[in-house]
Chain A
Amino acid sequence: MAATAATTARAPGTGGRAGTLARAVALRLSMIVAFIVVWQLVTSVIDSFFFPTVTEIAGSFWDIWVAGPEAGQNLSGQFVPSLLRLLGGLGLAAVAGIAGGVAIGRSRTVREYVEPLTEFLRAIPPPALIPLFLVLLGIGDSMKVLMIAFGVVWPILLNTIDGVQSVEQLYLDTGRVYGVTRSERLMRIVLPAAAPKIFAGLRVSLSIAVILMVISEMVATTNGLGFQIIQAQRSFKVLDMWAGIVLLGVLGYLLNTALLAVEGRVLHWHHRTSRRA
């Protein structure tokens, strides 16, 4: 007993838990700061046309997207359409994927009928869908939204099916013993139990959706962030291009953080329960 107490006792003066946390954060930030500093130094010295310094990129970013004369127009003309398409496609895929997943997941046999098809459709590399959707729908917004939805529904669908089918038998038995109705069983047992897997599918879908959005805008050039980046490249406006890339990164980061935050709230019980187990 005494030995364990000795090994788990903290060394005095390390600041306890708050201190450890602060050090961890500092370590992470230091890497990022180091990266930025190295980039700045290297690009200042090498002076490459294609790789501007951090300050130059930051300036361009500020000018184009935040406070410059055309910032508002850029935001509404490029950023917002991209965002809307992304959310539209993702939303469509989520609804279709979860609804379909629940419908298919209720029966093992139905899943077996459908599985080879879904496996194949999921294996199509999302960019390969672009020529197809160009044929079907031209270059407009509907093409992009529908293509994003089609490309992104598979992880959600398959994960929902998996989640629905791997609900603990004990939960279902408990529900049965206490006589729940079918709709109750779905809403109050199956969906909450399958939620962790569904969210995992949503996370994967988010990253694919961003990829599809960007490529579709680079190929079917009407407007959007992807369009802005490729347009800048074609006119050799390197700084504009980098500013667009940075904004894209910011967008991806914000969306991911938002999804994680929602997941954290909805699945708070899961993270704690599985940690314990």
Chain B
Amino acid sequence: MSLLRGRTGRVARGTIGALALFAVLELLTRAELVNPDYLPPASTIVARTVEILGDPAFLGNVLGTLRAWAAGMLVVVVVGVPLGVLLGSSTRVYTATRALIEFLRPIPSVALIPLAILVFGRGPAMKTSLIIYASLWPVLFNTIYGMHGVEPVAIETARSFGLGRLQILRRVSLPSAAPFIYTGIRVATAIALILAISTELIAGGGQGIGTWMLARQVANQQQYVYAGTIVAGLLGLVINAVFVAGEKRLFSWHPRQREGL
């Protein structure tokens, strides 16, 4: 029993759980309760997943999604963070921006896909612009919120030691706000991915996972649709894992108040 303690135990149990589910699914799907064309055996899906991971056409589409995602995120960070820092330094601006964001937030960015199609056509520019619009808000807002929440006592202490405004910004405000800014960026990466795939499903927008999956569905290649979904999940997992790991490394000093997600 002591073998199953601690970290190895957790990994072992997780693997057992996954394998158990796989076995159950395999049995159910092989029993052909549903038309195997629509619900193929689990093992076949796994085989297809491996297959497409080596398929340059598919990978090209994945890259298409990632390119738009990365371009959008880059713009969002480069524009959003400095803007947020600027706006966050005043309480008035903070309150006003909050009101504005709350006003615009109920409109889901995906609802603007048709608008983007009208304005930008169906190319990659449309995809990237929507990603930027949707991902900007969490970054902007979290940055403003982080800047606003800097402990006034900390700032006053720095000032009493003779630090100038710029120095206080660099050495007190930014490090203090950094965890929040980072969280905003992390949330934005997930939103960016959602927007990227949504746009691909509805408007095409060049190469992308969404485009590829929809094409497979239309062509009745159901097994590949399943495989594509799994890869999309892996993509989401990897992106999230990278950013969570980064958060742990950069901000191990921060007392994390976990509330919900």
Tell whether any CB of A sits under 8 Å from a CB of B in the complex.
Answer: yes
Do A50 and B115 touch across chains, with their CB atoms under 8 A apart?
yes
Do A249 and B99 touch across chains, with their CB atoms under 8 A apart?
no
Known contacts A35-B103, A131-B217, A197-B260: A27-B95 contact under CB 8 Å: yes
What is the minimal beta-carbon distance from B258 to any residue of chain A, in angstroms? Answer: 8
- Chain A residue contacts of B105, Cβ below 8 A: 252
User: Which residues 201-234 in A have Cβ within 8 Å of B in the complex?
Assistant: 201, 203-204, 207, 210-211, 214-215, 218-219, 226, 229-230, 232-233
The answer to whether the Cβ of A67 comes within 8 Å of any Cβ in the partner chain is: no
Chain B interface residue count: which class?
A: 35 or more
Considering the chains assembled together, what is the distance between the CA atoms of A91 and B228 in angstroms? 28
**Minimum CB distance partner of A48 in chain B:** B119
The answer to whether the Cβ of B193 comes within 8 Å of any Cβ in the partner chain is: yes
- Chain A residue contacts of B95, Cβ below 8 A: 24, 27-28
B100 touches which of A35, A127, A241, A256 (Cβ 8 Å)? A35
The answer to whether the Cβ of B210 comes within 8 Å of any Cβ in the partner chain is: yes
A125 touches which of B13, B20, B113, B194 (Cβ 8 Å)? B194
The answer to whether the Cβ of A126 comes within 8 Å of any Cβ in the partner chain is: yes
User: Which residues 86-137 in A have Cβ within 8 Å of B in the complex?
Assistant: 109, 112-117, 119-121, 123-132, 134-136
Do B197 and A127 touch across chains, with their CB atoms under 8 A apart?
yes
What is the minimal beta-carbon distance from B28 to any residue of chain A, in angstroms? Answer: 14
Do B106 and A250 touch across chains, with their CB atoms under 8 A apart?
yes
Q: When each residue 80-120 of chain B gets 1 if its CB lies under 8 Å from chain A and 0 otherwise, what string results?
A: 00000000000010011111100101111011111101110
What is the minimal beta-carbon distance from A113 to any residue of chain B, in angstroms? Answer: 4
Considering the chains assembled together, what is the distance between the CA atoms of A230 and B10 in angstroms? 47
Do B201 and A219 touch across chains, with their CB atoms under 8 A apart?
yes
Do B110 and A211 touch across chains, with their CB atoms under 8 A apart?
yes
The answer to whether the Cβ of A245 comes within 8 Å of any Cβ in the partner chain is: yes
The answer to whether the Cβ of B66 comes within 8 Å of any Cβ in the partner chain is: no
Considering the chains assembled together, what is the distance between the CA atoms of A249 and B108 in angstroms? 7
The answer to whether the Cβ of B74 comes within 8 Å of any Cβ in the partner chain is: no
What is the minimal beta-carbon distance from B251 to any residue of chain A, in angstroms? Answer: 20
Considering the chains assembled together, what is the distance between the CA atoms of A250 and B111 in angstroms? 12
Do A131 and B213 touch across chains, with their CB atoms under 8 A apart?
yes
Do A201 and B260 touch across chains, with their CB atoms under 8 A apart?
yes
**Minimum CB distance partner of B214 in chain A:** A131
The answer to whether the Cβ of B209 comes within 8 Å of any Cβ in the partner chain is: yes
Do B107 and A252 touch across chains, with their CB atoms under 8 A apart?
yes
Interface with A: B47-55, B148-156, B230-238, which one?
B230-238
What is the minimal beta-carbon distance from A131 to any residue of chain B, in angstroms? Answer: 4
The answer to whether the Cβ of A30 comes within 8 Å of any Cβ in the partner chain is: yes
B14 touches which of A35, A115, A203, A211 (Cβ 8 Å)? A115
The answer to whether the Cβ of A2 comes within 8 Å of any Cβ in the partner chain is: no
Known contacts A135-B217, A245-B107: A125-B117 contact under CB 8 Å: no
The answer to whether the Cβ of A253 comes within 8 Å of any Cβ in the partner chain is: yes
What is the minimal beta-carbon distance from B215 to any residue of chain A, in angstroms? Answer: 9
The answer to whether the Cβ of B36 comes within 8 Å of any Cβ in the partner chain is: no
- Chain B residue contacts of A5, Cβ below 8 A: none
Do B260 and A200 touch across chains, with their CB atoms under 8 A apart?
yes
Do B99 and A32 touch across chains, with their CB atoms under 8 A apart?
yes
Considering the chains assembled together, what is the distance between the CA atoms of A117 and B233 in angstroms? 11
The answer to whether the Cβ of A66 comes within 8 Å of any Cβ in the partner chain is: no
The answer to whether the Cβ of A172 comes within 8 Å of any Cβ in the partner chain is: no
User: Which residues 243-277 in A have Cβ within 8 Å of B in the complex?
Assistant: 244-246, 248-253, 256
User: Which residues 6-45 in B have Cβ within 8 Å of A in the complex?
Assistant: 9-10, 13-18, 20-21, 38-39
Q: Can you identify 18 A-B contacts, CB atoms within 8 angstroms?
A: A27-B95, A50-B119, A116-B15, A124-B233, A124-B236, A128-B213, A128-B228, A129-B229, A131-B210, A132-B229, A134-B217, A135-B38, A136-B38, A219-B201, A226-B111, A230-B114, A236-B118, A252-B105
3 smallest CB-CB distances across A and B, nearest first, come from A200-B260, A28-B99, A233-B114
A residues with CB within 8 A of B: 24, 27-32, 35, 50, 109, 112-117, 119-121, 123-132, 134-136, 155, 158-159, 196-197, 199-201, 203-204, 207, 210-211, 214-215, 218-219, 226, 229-230, 232-233, 236, 238, 241-242, 244-246, 248-253, 256
Question: Knowing that A128-B232, A131-B216, A135-B38 are A-B contacts, what are 10 other residue pairs whose CB atoms are under 8 Å apart, sorted by A's residue number?
Answer: A24-B95, A29-B99, A31-B97, A113-B16, A131-B213, A200-B259, A211-B108, A214-B108, A229-B111, A233-B118
